[in-house]
Amino acid sequence: MKQSVFLLIAIIVFACGKKQETTTPTRESITESIYASGIIKSKNQYQAFATVNGIIENIFVAEGDVVKKGDAILSISNETQKLNKENAELAAEFADFNTNQSKLNEAKLFIELSKNKMKNDSALYFRQKALWQQQIGSKVEFEQRELAYQNSKTAYYSSLVRYDDLKRQLNFSSSQSKKNLLISSKLENDFTLKSEIDGIVYNLTKSKGELVGQQTSLAVIGDAKTFILEMQVDEYDILKIKKGQTVLVTMDSYKNKVFEARVSKIFPIMNERSKSFLVEAEFIQQPDILYPNITFEANIVLETKNNTLLVPRNYLINDTLAILKNGDKVTVKTGLKDYQKIEILSGLTENDEIVKPKE
């Protein structure tokens, strides 16, 4: 009797273990999306780099301070550059065109003297020439007057050339010294790191007294209010991404909340290491408080359909084949799909009962 009871229980357990799981298609809404993850960045966020070598002399801001474009962030010791600028100022002052006007005036005066002497020698020459034509005076005296006239004429034209050369040289020296002063002033400005935008100082990477070199990152600065989402999208999915698509965002910082954003930019080059593309999105309604480098998970919505026929994806074989309760296999045409369900376009109706395939 006991053996019969045990045998009956075994049969029942075996039968239960062999029970097939079934379902029927239902009409629901479905959203097909692409998963992405990333970090939040402040808009216009950038790293500020040193362009000179030196020791940090002063830091004018603290992390979290709001700055305007052009505000000084920190300065690097530049005693040598200050001396170079002072030398450039002295050179510019010494070579200034207006300061050297007296040299031009002197050259002009010499031109006038040369011109008057030429006129005088010309008059004496032509007078002596007229007398010589009348056989008055000596040939030597005539030749002396002619030579004096030629010399004074040459001296006059030479004075004109010297004046033009002096003026050109003074203009060149004045312009060159002013350019050198501008270069020196620009180099001096390089020793002061200034903000490129209106924003907030998120990070200072160095302290006063530290030695820094060219291309040393000194600060992270970005917009104080507007943030963007940077997502990494797999190359397999990138062709489906379009500007303007809705992005549903979740963050550990805001538990149980979903924020909506829009795809704003697709960078057209793939990261060869990660085999992914960088995609940016902007919040439609931004959370009240955000900080750079907060991580998030997102679903980029490709398409949404309402009142469409759906079945669980694990009830289909390769998303294309369904098994009816009577054992028949039916090929189905599918549409949108998410991680759990898939749209049935043809092959099944709401009245069909399908069996879950064996794993």
More confident call, 128 vs 295 = 295
Q: Is the pLDDT of residue 243 over 50?
A: yes
Q: Is the pLDDT of residue 10 over 50?
A: no
Q: Is the pLDDT of residue 169 over 80?
A: yes
Structural contact between residues 23 and 210, judged by C-beta atoms closer than 8 angstroms: no
**Distance between CA atoms of residues 79 and 90, nearest Å:** 17
Q: What's the confidence (pLDDT) of residue 69?
A: 93
Could you read off the pLDDT of 122-132 as tens digits, one per residue? 888 788 888 87
Could you read off the pLDDT of 331-348 as tens digits, one per residue? 888 888 877 888 888 888
Confidence of residue 72 (pLDDT cuts 50, 70, 90): very high
The residues pairing with 271 across neighbouring beta strands, listed in sequence order, are: 276
Q: What's the confidence (pLDDT) of residue 36?
A: 92
Q: Looking at residues 254-274, what average pLDDT do you find?
A: 93
Q: Is the pLDDT of residue 277 over 90?
A: yes
**Distance between CA atoms of residues 219 and 292, nearest Å:** 14
Structural contact between residues 33 and 248, judged by C-beta atoms closer than 8 angstroms: yes
Instruction: For the chain, give the mean pLDDT.
Output: 84
Confidence of residue 15 (pLDDT cuts 50, 70, 90): very low
pTM more than 0.75: no
Confidence of residue 8 (pLDDT cuts 50, 70, 90): very low
Q: Is the pLDDT of residue 320 over 50?
A: yes
Q: What's the confidence (pLDDT) of residue 175?
A: 80
Q: What's the confidence (pLDDT) of residue 2?
A: 45
Q: Is the pLDDT of residue 91 over 80?
A: no
Enter the tokens of residue 314. Answer: 């694990």
Q: What percent of the chain has pLDDT over 90?
A: 33
Q: Is the pLDDT of residue 7 over 70?
A: no
Q: What's the confidence (pLDDT) of residue 247?
A: 94
